[in-house]
């Protein structure tokens, strides 16, 4: 069983609105987008974020051209740039030792684990944050790698942390379930890798990420989708663990069979068989048996 393909199929069903049934009583995504707009305006007024130069589109399917597919009633097409604030990080100067060894976690893309981030080995100082492009991201931020072989690798912060420039963080708005965003990004990994192009150092940019379309379900449906994905993924984990156990058993069995074979314990001996010494004499007429019992 191709469990990797099975996981992708589940994600595809999820983002097409086919993994769980829709509930007409759910607050529609159009209302979510209005709340997002209001939250964004509040954050702009508080000086926590800056107004983008171009207003992002937030209209539903009929107003989008070339949408990837039709979405269920109550859903809406929007872009990743609408549902949260995205920011990349930076690397403080390595030549300044006072920038490192502080108490602020500094994540590199190699620290991403496609799950919750519970450990980051490197730390920087407040001085480093002030004097570099590194920015502190809050708990719950969804991270995605943008450069090289790690493009599309994901993580969710369980504590505030900064990142290097190869990582982009989304500080999602209250109308978005972070795990729904996580699974959507996971479903798009192959597409992001393709957008990264070839070359020795393929990469995607924050601009590519924020312009990516996302089909947005009602908030309660987001939560049901996440629960169903995780139920299926748990079953697939069991299958994969069982497959690994089976492969280990098969390998051990093969080794045991070979061991029994070379020790003469795999089949019974027949006293009528021609002895091996006669075979050796036929192979080499000059063969002389060795009388050394230790041979």
- Could you state, in order of their start, the residue ranges of all structural domains in the chain? 23-218
Indicate if the pLDDT at residue 56 is higher than 50: no
Pairing status of strand 123-124 against strand 154-157? unpaired
Strand order in the sheet with 123-124: 123-124, 100-107, 162-163
Residue 60 confidence (pLDDT): 41
Please give the backbone phi and psi of residue 137, each rounded to the nearest 5 degrees, phi first: -105, 140
Alpha helices (H) along the chain: 3-15, 29-45, 80-83, 126-130, 178-187, 189-196, 206-210, 219-262, 276-283
CATH for 23-218 (3.90.220.20, 3.30.420.40, 3.90.330.10, 3.30.565.10): 3.90.220.20
Give the residue with greater pLDDT, 219 vs 175.
Answer: 219
Integer Cα distance of 262 and 275 in angstroms: 16
Range 159-169 average pLDDT: 97
Strand order in the sheet with 142-145: 84-88, 167-172, 142-145, 154-157, 115-117
Residue 119 confidence (pLDDT): 97
Residue 59 confidence (pLDDT): 44
Burial class (CB in 10 A: 0-12, 13-18, 19+), 289: exposed
Residue 69 confidence (pLDDT): 92
């Amino acid at each position: 069983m191709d469990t990797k393909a099975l996981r992708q199929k589940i994600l595809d069903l999820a983002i097409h609105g086919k993994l769980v049934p829709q509930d007409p009583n759910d607050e529609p995504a159009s209302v979510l987008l209005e709340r997002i707009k209001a939250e964004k305006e509040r954050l702009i007024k508080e000086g926590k974020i800056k107004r983008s130069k171009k207003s992002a589109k937030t209209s539903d399917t009929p107003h989008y051209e070339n949408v990837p597919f039709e979405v269920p009633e109550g859903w809406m097409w929007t872009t990743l740039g609408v549902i949260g604030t995205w920011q990349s990080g930076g690397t403080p100067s390595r030549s300044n030792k006072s920038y490192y060894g502080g108490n602020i976690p500094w994540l590199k893309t190699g620290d991403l684990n496609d799950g919750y981030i519970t450990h980051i080995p490197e730390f920087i100082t407040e001085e480093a944050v002030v004097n570099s492009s590194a920015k502190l991201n809050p708990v719950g931020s969804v991270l995605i790698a943008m450069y090289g072989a790690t493009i599309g690798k994901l993580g969710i912060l369980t504590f505030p942390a900064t990142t290097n420039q190869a990582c982009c963080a989304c500080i999602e708005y209250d109308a978005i379930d972070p795990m729904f965003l996580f699974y959507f990004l996971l479903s798009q990994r192959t597409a992001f890798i393709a957008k990264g192009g070839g070359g020795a150092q393929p990469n995607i940019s924050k601009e590519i990420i924020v312009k990516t379309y996302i089909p947005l379900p009602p908030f309660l449906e987001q939560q049901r989708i996440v629960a169903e994905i995780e139920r299926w993924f748990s079953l697939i984990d069991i299958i994969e663990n069982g497959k690994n156990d089976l492969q280990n058993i098969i390998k051990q069995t093969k080794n045991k069979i070979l061991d029994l074979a070379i020790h003469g314990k795999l089949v019974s001996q027949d006293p009528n068989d021609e002895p091996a010494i006669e075979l050796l004499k036929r192979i080499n007429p000059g063969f002389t048996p060795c009388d050394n019992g230790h041979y």
